[in-house]
C-alpha cells in the first residue's frame, strides 16, 4: 500500500519537474545533468461499440446482451533526468477518463486495452504517477550504441554490452514479453490478448503498475532479465503488499535476437506468491454448504501460481515494418486469476503489413487471432456459478474463447493516427451458450 509520505513525495517531484521542464522541452537532447528532459506526451481516444449478444442467461459479470457503447481517453506526459555515474530517473504522469464496453467484464480478452488504466471506480479520474524509477547501467565493454529519445528513454550513447538495473514504480511489461508487432494498445492491436501473453498473470495494481526491481544482462544477440515486484493484496486490487517476503511476482526472460532488426524469440517463466484462493477448495466448501463457490472467500497468504510463455517476431520486408508475430502461454490454473485477466492457456499470432505497398509508408494494417482456454478446475468453478473478477455468467457451457481483430492505422499528419478497428469473439467468457460478439471501434492517437 502506498503511504501518505510516498504520495506527497511523488506530488512534490512532479511539481518540480513540470516547472523545470516546460522551458526546456525544445532542447531536451542537449540538457545537462540534473536538468529534467521532456521525453514525450500522448493522448489516445477510443470509441467502441459492442453488438447485441445471443444470451439465454446472464450473470453479474456477463457482456451486456443488449449491446454497449463506451468511450475512453488516456493522457500521458513522460520525463527523464540524467544523473551522474550512469544513473537516470524517469517520471511518467497519466490520466484516464471513460470506461470499457459492458463495464469491461464478460471477456477474458478485453477489447480495449487502455481501460486497464481505469482502475476501480473509487480511484477517480485525476492525474496519477504511473512510473517513478531509477535506472542504472554498468558497461561490460567499450563498444557503444546510440540511444534515441523516446518514452522512458533518454538520448545519448550507451554500452552495447551492459548490466541494467531498474528500481521503483514501473510496469512489468515494459521490460518483459515485448514484441515489435503486438506491443501497444495505443498504436497496434487493441485487444489485450494480442499485445500481451494473457496467461502471464504479472504483478500490478488495477492500473497496471507496481513497485519492484529489474536486473538485465544485455549482450549483442541475446539478453537475460529477472524481475521481482509487489503483488496486490487482493485480486484485481489497487493496494499492494508491503513486503516481498509476503507476496511477490517474479519473472525470468531469455531473449534471442542475433541481429538488432532481425527475428527474435523470448522465453518467459513466472512464479507468483500471494493471498490467493484455490478453485478446488472453493468448490469443496460450496458442496459442503450448499452455496455457490466463491474463490475470494478462500484467500490465504503464501499460495502460488507459475507459468511459461514464448514470444516470437519475424520481420519479412519494408525494413521490418512488415512481419509476423506469435505468442503461446500456460499457467497451472489451480489458484485464482489474480491480476491481469482470466486465462490459463493462450495461443495467438498474426501479422503487420506496411502501407508502403500502396504508397502510404506510415500506414499499417494488422490482423491477429487468439485462442484462450481455462484449466479444468477453473472452468468447473465457473460452471458451478462462481465469479472471478472479469467472468461470471451464472453457469457455463465451456468452450475456448476465440478472438479475431483487424485494424488499419492511418497516418493522417505527423504525430496523429486514426485507426478503424473490428473484433469478432466466439464463446465470450468461454461460454458456448453466448455470442458471438462483434465490436467496432475508432481510435485516435496523438504522440509527440
Please write the tens of the pLDDT for every residue from 68-109: 999 999 999 999 999 999 999 999 999 999 999 999 999 999
- Alpha helix (H) residue ranges in 269-416: 279-289, 376-383
pLDDT, residue 121, reads 55
Exposed/middle/buried for 318, CB within 10 Å: 0-12, 13-18, 19+? middle
Q: Is the pLDDT of residue 250 over 60?
A: yes
Q: Rg (Cα) of the chain, in Å, rounded? A: 22
Which helix (H) or strand (E) is 7 found in, with range?
helix 4-21
Q: Per residue in 191-222, pLDDT tens?
A: 999 999 999 999 999 999 999 999 999 999 99
Q: Is the pLDDT of residue 3 over 90?
A: no
What is the mean pLDDT of the segment spanning 271-275? 96
C-alpha cell at 120: 476501480
pLDDT, residue 41, reads 97
Q: Per residue in 325-353, pLDDT tens?
A: 999 999 999 999 999 999 999 999 999 99
Residues 6+ apart with CB under 8 A from 42: 74, 75, 76, 151, 186, 445, 446, 447, 448
C-alpha cell at 312: 516470437
Whole-prediction pTM: 0.90
Q: Is the pLDDT of residue 133 over 60?
A: yes
Look at residues 10, 223, 217, 194 and name the one whose alpha carbon lies nearest to residue 109. 194
Q: Is the pLDDT of residue 11 over 70?
A: no
The class of domain 37-447 in CATH terms is mainly beta
Domain boundaries, the chain: 37-447
Residues 6+ apart with CB under 8 A from 253: 176, 177, 224, 225, 266, 267, 268, 269
What is the mean pLDDT of the segment spanning 23-44? 70
Can you give the three-state secondary structure of 15-80, one letter per residue?
HHHHHHHHHHHHHHHHCCCCCCEEEEEEEEEEEEEECCCCCCCCCCCCCCCCCEEEEEEEEEEEEE
Amino acid at each position: 500500500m502506498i503511504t501518505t509520505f510516498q504520495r506527497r513525495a511523488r506530488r512534490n517531484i512532479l511539481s518540480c519537474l513540470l516547472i523545470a521542464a516546460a522551458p526546456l522541452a525544445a532542447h531536451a537532447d542537449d540538457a545537462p545533468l540534473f536538468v529534467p528532459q521532456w521525453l514525450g506526451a500522448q493522448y489516445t481516444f477510443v470509441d467502441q461499440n459492442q453488438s447485441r449478444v445471443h444470451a439465454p442467461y446472464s450473470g453479474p459479470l456477463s457482456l451486456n446482451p443488449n449491446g454497449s457503447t463506451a468511450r475512453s481517453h488516456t493522457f500521458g506526459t513522460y520525463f527523464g533526468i540524467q544523473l551522474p555515474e550512469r544513473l537516470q530517473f524517469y517520471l511518467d504522469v497519466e490520466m484516464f477518463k471513460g470506461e470499457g464496453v459492458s463495464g469491461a467484464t464478460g471477456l477474458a480478452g478485453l477489447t480495449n486495452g487502455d481501460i486497464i488504466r481505469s482502475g476501480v471506480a473509487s480511484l477517480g479520474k485525476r492525474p496519477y504517477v504511473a512510473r517513478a524509477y531509477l535506472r542504472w547501467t554498468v558497461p561490460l565493454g567499450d563498444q557503444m550504441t546510440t540511444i534515441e529519445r523516446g518514452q522512458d528513454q533518454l538520448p545519448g550513447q550507451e554500452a552495447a554490452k551492459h548490466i541494467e538495473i531498474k528500481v521503483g514504480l514501473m510496469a512489468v511489461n515494459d521490460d518483459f514479453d515485448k514484441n515489435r508487432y503486438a506491443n501497444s494498445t495505443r498504436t497496434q492491436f487493441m485487444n489485450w490478448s494480442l499485445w500481451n501473453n494473457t496467461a502471464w498473470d504479472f504483478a500490478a495494481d488495477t492500473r497496471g503498475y507496481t513497485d519492484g526491481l529489474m536486473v538485465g544482462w544485455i549482450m549483442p544477440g541475446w539478453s537475460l532479465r529477472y524481475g521481482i515486484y509487489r503483488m496486490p493484496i487482493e485480486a484485481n486490487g489497487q493496494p499492494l503488499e508491503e513486503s516481498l517476503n509476503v507476496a511477490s511476482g517474479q519473472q525470468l526472460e531469455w531473449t534471442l535476437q542475433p541481429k538488432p532488426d532481425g527475428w527474435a524469440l523470448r522465453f518467459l517463466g513466472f512464479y507468483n506468491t500471494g493471498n490467493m484462493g484455490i478453485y478446488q477448495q472453493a468448490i469443496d466448501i460450496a458442496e459442503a454448504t450448499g452455496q455457490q463457490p466463491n474463490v475470494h472467500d478462500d484467500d490465504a497468504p503464501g499460495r502460488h501460481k507459475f507459468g511459461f510463455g514464448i514470444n516470437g517476431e519475424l520481420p519479412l520486408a519494408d525494413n521490418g515494418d512488415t512481419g509476423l508475430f506469435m505468442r503461446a502461454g500456460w499457467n497451472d490454473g489451480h489458484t485464482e486469476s489474480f491480476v491481469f485477466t482470466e486465462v490459463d492457456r493462450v495461443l495467438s499470432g498474426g501479422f503487420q503489413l506496411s502501407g508502403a505497398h500502396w504508397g502510404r509508408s506510415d500506414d499499417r494494417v494488422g490482423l491477429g487471432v487468439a485462442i484462450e482456454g481455462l484449466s479444468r478446475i477453473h472452468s468447473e468453478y465457473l460452471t458451478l456459478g462462481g465469479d472471478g473478477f472479469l467472468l461470471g455468467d451464472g453457469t457455463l457451457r465451456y468452450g475456448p474463447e476465440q478472438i479475431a481483430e483487424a485494424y488499419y492505422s492511418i497516418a493522417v499528419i505527423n504525430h496523429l493516427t486514426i485507426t478503424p478497428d473490428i473484433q469478432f469473439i466466439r464463446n465470450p467468457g468461454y461460454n458456448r451458450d453466448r455470442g458471438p460478439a462483434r465490436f467496432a471501434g475508432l481510435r485516435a492517437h496523438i504522440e509527440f
